[in-house]
Structure 1
Amino acid sequence: EALRVPGMAFQPIPLEGNSSRFDLALTLFEVPQGLTGFLEYSSDLFDASTAQRLMGHFGVLLSSLAAQPDARVSTLEVMTAEERKQLLVEWNETDVAFPRDTCIHHVVAEHAQREPDAVAVRMGERSISYAGLDAWAHGLAVQLHAAGVSRGSRVAVLAERSPELVAGLLAALKAGAAYVPISPGVPPERLAFMLEDCGASVLLTQQHLRDSLPPLSARVLALEVETAAHQQPLLVMPVGPEDLAYVIYTSGSTGRPKGVAVHHRALMNLVSWHQRT
């Protein structure tokens, strides 16, 4: 009820505070129409839109509670219908069209046919055309095939970020294998573990890195391919989107690195997203 005193008038005055005592503080009090109040929040932690969204959720929760007074709080709604649609429908519309039935090395080869002189890789003053990259990778794939690499094999590629690295990854795919990228300078024990764990029988590396490698069970081939191999035919079993494209190892924070296997369709999806974005 309104406060009434003879000879005096009363009017509520809102108080504007410049500091909050707590991260969040909700104050409610009764009025004839029900409950009213205010939310005080630390502006270092929350902005106005966040505080408004929190109060909106609280309002939905109270409405849910009034409609179902015997329900457990954990089962009650807190999101509005619009938010639920945004979260469950709009933000999860991830089904997009991309080339599902091809592989990235097929796309590169097709591009090399269409635009052979277009730049595929540039590093400083050095650049490689699509035709040059495709021929380079073809020659490496011929050598990999001669070394026993076939569909489903694993090929380790140890190289600095360079055109050689790109050619080596592409060559492994052309040979029907999955590549396993390895950083230069990896400890010998980790290198030996990864080669054994993934079953790589061949390791591709740059010529200047060969001397620093420890003795390995895998055969080591140079990424600087012999030019004659560019012209030789490559007779390998074709691979498809369900075949393995690469195996990449985690940092091994738990003490033992784990190889994550990725198929061609997933790689094609990733590359298509790169292009769209």
Structure 2
Amino acid sequence: MSKKYKMSTAQKRIYLVDRIQGSNITYNVPILLESSGSIDVQRLRGAVQKLVERHELLRTNFIESGSHLLQVVEESIDIPVEVRVVKKEDVKRASLDFIRPFSLSEGPLMRVLVLNMLDEGTVLLFDLHHIICDGGSIPVLFEDLSVLYGGGELPKLTVEYKHYMRWQESLDLRKQELYWHNEFVDGIPALDLFTDYPRPQQKSFQGAGYSVQAGLSLKEEVRKFCLKTRTTEFSVLLSVFLLLLSKYSGQEEILVGTPVSGRNHPDAANMLGMFVNTLVIRGQLKEDMNFFQLVEIIRAKSLNALDNQAYPFEELVERLNLPRDPSRNPLFDVMFVLQNNEKSELTLDESHYQMLDVENQVSKFDLTLSIDDTEEGYNLAWEFSTDLFRADTIERMAAHYQTLLANALAQPETKLMDLEMVSAHEKNIILEDFNATSIDYPVHRTVIDLFEEQVKQTPNAIAVDFEGKTLTYKQLNDRANYVGALLREQGVQPETIVGIVSARSLEMVIGLYGILKAGGAYLPIDPELPLDRVHFMLADCRTNVILAGPESDKLIKELPDFNVLYIQEHANELATNLSPVTAPHNLAYVIFTSGSTGKPKGVLIKSIYKKETNK
């Protein structure tokens, strides 16, 4: 007979994410172990079944009943142990095939697979759902399975996850709630990293991983710094991660999540369940701050967060009443994890099973940096969303992290803005190789001369592509000829500056070339610019004629004293090129500075690429 209990707050979050996503492996916890020995499959099946009888969560499924989210504990359930014979080179493929979606409402939420490699050993795979276990549950499972496989008996559990939930609900967390509320009372900044791909409207949680080793010498430098400053490796490594994110995003305020075990009660130490809680560290970085100061701030933030770690992250999100954005995670999009070489081992009789890494197919966040403290140094594992980043971008970011860490440790009194993340080799590539752009240029020809020559060579090739609409070189040339002829009728000639008000569009490109063909110079004007700035620019350039493109109507209505030609209304073509009237020394366009230090200044660009500043 089944028994029903409320879900914990962490279980509710996982359940709701699973329901929104549908069929997914986002919260699968795959475990891959290898041994050179063989395994007695019948004994393993018996041990797994006794493990299921011992732990309620292995017999649990999750349902909705009206407005309630419930976990249902079945009296008994069978978990089959699959067996396959494979070649060693096929283990990876078989492992990935084994990881597949669970049905939370049906169960079981654990699977077991044995891969027999004949004379080359055995691979044992477990796949569990995160809603019933966390990283701290793995050693519990391994220890119990080892005893049961060996024919031993275990005492009946008197305390299980449901009891922990009741204890957690009895805690008075009002002070902790106030602390977290105060942390976010001034707003919640979203991290806007530069991404390789546009952020999708809905997170897919598809991801990949990249790992790199930081050597023992760098680890020793971190520990020396910690001794000198009486701080922790966590604070130092997190500070560098925050600094890296700040340099990549240009933001001074960054939120990063970090997990804690959540096993705050002594009885939870050897219990199966989803205990992990998430703390949010608010990094506030100022350019004139040095690394010593940053580490001290992050150390204090981390200690305060740990003092208030019992308050569930899910309740914090609910209390803050955040607007739901399916493209992002609530509160933060980047995670930082520091582990202390916590890989578990499984022993079955005389066979020792070592945990292997499982190829990452999922990323719960935009980016997660997990640092594993090993005997060889630090293993840096980067988990990233493949919806946002390419693998080579993450590899470069990983290299920047190590360079920044080394420089911060060597120059802790240097201002954060002056700490470099680019290696000497990469700097040389940027400054020397990328700038090796010297070529012979036809200085006696104008941009229009070169454009019309390209039109003759490839008239039917695509010249412009914008939002699915295209123009060939011939179409662009003929449309620009017509606009240019109209502008000449308005008196445009060399050194005449013509304003062009337009959003990005095919018409904008037609207008630019039309102005140049007429002999004039173009002045680009964003339709969203403040009116007083537009008036200043037009007056400074002595402009009388304006070309208007898409999204220009609102601004054009405020400019009644100018001669305006609408590009869309003059969509005709003129196949004959206009007679040339400009020379390379004539003005091509004018661009204005931001004016952040005073009045905007117009920069005059000529076809021979000499710059002059309009005083």
CA shift in 2, pair 1:45/1:203, >3 Å = farther
Within a 5 Å distance, the mapping from 1:245-260 to structure 2 comes to: 245-260=588-603
> Alignment partner for residue 222 of structure 1, among 566, 577, 595?
566
Please name the residue that 1:209 is paired with: 552
Please name the residue that 1:13 is paired with: none
Give % identity.
31
Between the aligned partners of 1:218 and 1:196, the Cα distance in structure 2 is 11
Between the aligned partners of 2:563 and 2:573, the Cα distance in structure 1 is 18
Between the aligned partners of 2:436 and 2:518, the Cα distance in structure 1 is 36
Of 258-267 and 92-101, more deviation after overlay is shown by: 92-101
Between the aligned partners of 1:95 and 1:260, the Cα distance in structure 2 is 23
* One-letter code aligned to 1:130: Y
1:113 aligned counterpart, secondary structure:
helix
CA shift in 2, pair 1:94/1:207, >3 Å = closer
- Stretches of structure 1 that go unaligned for 5 or more consecutive residues are 1-15, 24-41, 52-85, 268-277
CA shift in 2, pair 1:216/1:178, >3 Å = same
* One-letter code aligned to 2:525: I
Between the aligned partners of 2:439 and 2:575, the Cα distance in structure 1 is 39
* One-letter code aligned to 1:254: T
CA shift in 2, pair 1:131/1:229, >3 Å = closer
Deviation at 1:179, TM superposition (A): 0.6
Confirm or deny that 1:44 pairs with 2:405: yes
Confirm or deny that 1:125 pairs with 2:330: no
Deviation at 1:227, TM superposition (A): 5.1
Confirm or deny that 1:142 pairs with 2:485: yes
Within a 5 Å distance, the mapping from 1:98-117 to structure 2 comes to: 98-117=441-460
- Contact residue 154 and residue 199 of structure 1 kept, 8 A: yes
Confirm or deny that 1:243 pairs with 2:604: no
TM-score by length of 2: 0.29
> Alignment partner for residue 198 of structure 1, among 529, 534, 541?
541
Between the aligned partners of 1:103 and 1:236, the Cα distance in structure 2 is 9
1:230 aligned counterpart, secondary structure:
coil
Deviation at 1:236, TM superposition (A): 5.4
CA shift in 2, pair 1:162/1:250, >3 Å = same
* One-letter code aligned to 2:561: S
1:252 aligned counterpart, secondary structure:
coil
Between the aligned partners of 1:157 and 1:243, the Cα distance in structure 2 is 19
* One-letter code aligned to 1:223: I
Aligned residues: 199
Between the aligned partners of 2:474 and 2:436, the Cα distance in structure 1 is 37
Deviation at 1:119, TM superposition (A): 0.3
> Alignment partner for residue 166 of structure 1, among 509, 512, 532?
509
Please name the residue that 1:178 is paired with: 521
* One-letter code aligned to 1:44: L
Between the aligned partners of 2:577 and 2:440, the Cα distance in structure 1 is 34
State the Cα deviation string for residues 25-74 of structure 1 (Å, max 9, x = none). Answer: xxxxxxxxxxxxxxxxx9735189x99xxxxxxxxxxxxxxxxxxxxxxx
CA shift in 2, pair 1:227/1:183, >3 Å = closer
Higher relative contact order (CA 8 A, sep 6+): 1
Confirm or deny that 1:19 pairs with 2:224: yes
Between the aligned partners of 1:221 and 1:232, the Cα distance in structure 2 is 21
Between the aligned partners of 2:524 and 2:605, the Cα distance in structure 1 is 12
Deviation at 1:111, TM superposition (A): 1.0
Of 210-219 and 138-147, more deviation after overlay is shown by: 210-219
- Contact residue 584 and residue 606 of structure 2 kept, 8 A: yes
Confirm or deny that 1:156 pairs with 2:517: no
State the Cα deviation string for residues 202-229 of structure 1 (Å, max 9, x = none). Answer: 1101265235420343211111253556
Confirm or deny that 1:188 pairs with 2:393: no
Please name the residue that 2:217 is paired with: none
- Contact residue 446 and residue 607 of structure 2 kept, 8 A: yes
Between the aligned partners of 2:559 and 2:570, the Cα distance in structure 1 is 24
State the Cα deviation string for residues 107-147 of structure 1 (Å, max 9, x = none). Answer: 11111111110000001221000000001111000000000
Of 102-111 and 121-130, more deviation after overlay is shown by: 102-111
- Contact residue 527 and residue 551 of structure 2 kept, 8 A: no
* One-letter code aligned to 2:597: T
Between the aligned partners of 1:185 and 1:43, the Cα distance in structure 2 is 39
1:169 aligned counterpart, secondary structure:
helix
CA shift in 2, pair 1:241/1:148, >3 Å = same
* One-letter code aligned to 2:544: S
Of 227-236 and 171-180, more deviation after overlay is shown by: 227-236
CA shift in 2, pair 1:135/1:43, >3 Å = closer
* One-letter code aligned to 2:407: F
1:19 aligned counterpart, secondary structure:
helix
- Stretches of structure 2 that go unaligned for 5 or more consecutive residues are 1-219, 230-289, 291-402, 412-427, 611-615
Between the aligned partners of 1:123 and 1:93, the Cα distance in structure 2 is 31
Between the aligned partners of 1:181 and 1:113, the Cα distance in structure 2 is 28
- Contact residue 150 and residue 236 of structure 1 kept, 8 A: no
CA shift in 2, pair 1:43/1:207, >3 Å = closer
Deviation at 1:232, TM superposition (A): 6.8
